[in-house]
Structure 1
Amino acid sequence: MADVARLAGVSSQTVSRVSTGHPGVLESTRREVLNAMQQLGYRPNSAARALKRGEFRTIGVILFTLATTGNSRTVEAIAAHAAREGYAITLIPVAVPTQDEVLGAFTRLGELAVDGIIVIMEVHLLDAADLRLPPGVPVVVVDSDAGDRYPVVDTDQADGARQAVRHLLELGHRTVWHVTGPDESFSSARRAQAWRAVLDEAGRAAPPCEHGDWSAGSGYRAGLRLAGLADCTAIFVANDQMALGVLRALHEAGRRVPEDVSVVGFDDIPDAGSYMPPLTTVRQDWAEVGRRCVQGLLEQINRHTVEPGTVLVPTTLIPRASTAPPASTAPPAGSAPGTSS
């Protein structure tokens, strides 16, 4: 800065004002300073300014994987909304979902100097019944049941599942089979609980669940088992990728969709409308989840207060060609649902 000041023939304070965009500098002086900066290759030290102000304009994000659609879309939305607010993000993946790993990620982000942290949980911790985060750090948790202790933002998983199951029952299907996500997943558990609750409320028997891992391959394996059940006419699949595998399995088994079996997914990924047939699914608003995360974190940073609670972002059922009323040859209402192998 002193070198720039000497070359431009101004004070160091004037250079500082130009570098920070201060309005109280003559335009001719500003041009002289900018020319001197360019000649000398000078760049303001943003890290030093951040230390002086006590803010870094950076948000840390901790998550266990980017492989799932929900996580990658959520991170994308967080990054986009953070950028609109003038913030960058620093991403810290956690190799194993344990309490120690999460605390270690907090420590690393503290060393990297962030203003607040968003934790995308998605799965239950392996070594702790409850999530415990360091006090005094602005934090928002995504996809978790920790709303009694921390600010949580999540898609309304339960209502999305309820819409899917009610849609199939309203079409006239006697009951609905379900392909779940992984057992350790918060969202999978909520969707399965809501699926069962809707069937219970309607007085319908709940068939045994088929368990998947979010991948199309696991959906395919579940679909092969369900394709062998003559009384299976409706399937709610916990995400669109597994639904793709289910559709393939039904096709290979000669079960037509939707004439013989209706299929509903969850997520409304960009390709869902191009499946064969186009997939009826539940749309998640990841952009709104990202916006709520960033806004909630900035409110904590600016107000220096933390208010626990859960914000649920609504879902929308998107009907397409993979669902229809059951064929006239469907089993009568009195018969019991089949069991899966």
Structure 2
Amino acid sequence: MPRKASPRPARRAVSMTDVAAHAQVSQKTVSRVVNGEPYVREEVRLRVQNSIKELDFRPNAAARSLVTRRTRRIGVVALGTAFHGPTSALAALESVARADGYSLSVHRTDSTDRDEIQSAVDILLNEGVEGIVLSEPKQLEGSPLQIRADVAVLTLGARGLTARDDELVVGADEESGGRLATEHLLTLGHRTVHHIAGPSAWISSQLRQVGWASALREHGAEIPEVVAGDWSPRSGFEAMAQLLNSPAIPTAVFVANDQMAIGAVSAITARGLSVPSDISVVGFDDIDVSEFLPTPLTTLRQEFSLAAHRGMNALIRTIDGATPPDALLLVPLTLVNRATTAPPSHAGATDNR
């Protein structure tokens, strides 16, 4: 009978003692470098870090947390992560956290119920997270969230969700974005601008609508009744069809996101009208496909990744004991002027007078 091959012995994990011998330092010095402690000369620190890399040493996270009393873990309550914006923001949060030696614990929920979101926060706190991120917030039902534990809190959006004075708030300046889109259409000569809004529970939808209405008010223009969708192309199609069935067809529409704007353009062309000759359309977000549509979409570019990077960097600086940054940081949006907007055509659609 052929002899059975002996199983290969498992490779022994590299220890802190191995790193110390390789770097020609004490084990205590390696421990200080691994745990980010001071009082290590820069030349020695670099030598230890090079040995860690060469030997592929992986510190035991549980042991480190016992020594440092830190978990280096951040909790994220992610709301509505199936959409483009939340997904982009979550990827950016993870990238920054990983680069700074932190890991993420993510709890997803589509609920606007305060108690359910509070429960997700409490679960994360019980896991020992050192910071909490509330990502892409909706309007909560009831009172603000209560986060009593001594952890840093970041709301990734344009409005805070907690009762804390030290809450960090970082997001896009969505109210100014709504204003910018509306003013662009008014400047082209449209007498007013209709609005297809997102779901009313979303703070981002509320802020974009506020910007739209304030721009119309400041220009002395009529403020038409809002039609709402659910962020999807189909809801944009249906909302635009509703506007097209009104007694006077609008000449300009600001749509609260690009997906609904794509549906709105489809409804316009299905009715035998054209964009922008008959109706101008502005979207919001500048998703990847917007530039490559048959008629490239004029839209507001929202820097999801930039806001998430700035927010996570601010949170980590706060956790690490650095001087807290400004409590509110809003990232400006940029109008991307493509092919779906033009001056109103006298021969085309007519807006409400």
Q: TM over 0.5, yes or no?
A: yes
Distance 1:24 1:207, change over 3 A: closer
Q: CA deviation at 1:67?
A: 1.3
Q: How far apart, CA to CA, are the structure 2 residues paired with 1:166 and 1:8?
A: 62
Q: How far apart, CA to CA, are the structure 1 residues paired with 2:264 and 2:186?
A: 19
SS state at 1:92 partner: strand
- In structure 1, what is the equivalent of residue 221 of structure 2? 204
SS state at 1:271 partner: helix
SS state at 1:141 partner: strand
Could you tell me which runs of 5 or more consecutive residues in structure 1 were left unpaired when the two chains were aligned.
none
**1:253 corresponds to 2:298:** no
Distance 1:336 1:256, change over 3 A: closer
Matching residue's letter, 2:156? V
Give the alignment partner of residue 315 of structure 1, picking from 314, 319, 333. 333
TM-score normalized with structure 2 length: 0.81
- Which of 147-156 and 302-311 deviates more? 302-311
- Which of 108-117 and 186-195 deviates more? 108-117
SS state at 2:288 partner: coil
- In structure 2, what is the equivalent of residue 300 of structure 1? 318
**1:273 corresponds to 2:291:** yes
Q: CA deviation at 1:142?
A: 1.7
- In structure 1, what is the equivalent of residue 184 of structure 2? 167
Q: CA deviation at 1:86?
A: 2.5
**1:186 corresponds to 2:203:** yes
Taking the TM superposition and a 5 Å limit, the aligned residue runs for 1:59-138 are 59-94=74-109, 96-126=111-141, 128-138=142-152
TM-score normalized with structure 1 length: 0.84
SS state at 1:303 partner: coil
Distance 1:155 1:95, change over 3 A: closer
Q: CA deviation at 1:55?
A: 2.2
Give the alignment partner of residue 177 of structure 1, picking from 185, 191, 194. 194
- Which of 253-262 and 101-110 deviates more? 101-110
Matching residue's letter, 2:83? T
Aligned residues of 1:4 and 1:15 also touching (Cα < 8 A)? no
Could you tell me the percent identity over the aligned residues? 34
Number of corresponding residues:
325
SS state at 2:285 partner: coil
SS state at 1:140 partner: strand
Q: How far apart, CA to CA, are the structure 1 residues paired with 2:266 and 2:195?
A: 16
- In structure 1, what is the equivalent of residue 154 of structure 2? 140
Matching residue's letter, 1:298? I
- Which of 51-60 and 1-10 deviates more? 1-10
Q: How far apart, CA to CA, are the structure 2 residues paired with 1:62 and 1:289?
A: 16
Q: How far apart, CA to CA, are the structure 1 residues paired with 2:153 and 2:59?
A: 29
Aligned residues of 1:266 and 1:283 also touching (Cα < 8 A)? yes
Q: How far apart, CA to CA, are the structure 2 residues paired with 1:314 and 1:2?
A: 49
SS state at 1:325 partner: coil
Q: CA deviation at 1:48?
A: 1.3
- Which of 116-125 and 193-202 deviates more? 116-125
- Structure with higher RCO (Cα < 8 A, 6+ apart): 1
Q: CA RMSD in A?
A: 3.3
Q: How far apart, CA to CA, are the structure 1 residues paired with 2:254 and 2:20?
A: 73
Aligned residues of 2:14 and 2:58 also touching (Cα < 8 A)? no
Aligned residues of 1:157 and 1:190 also touching (Cα < 8 A)? yes
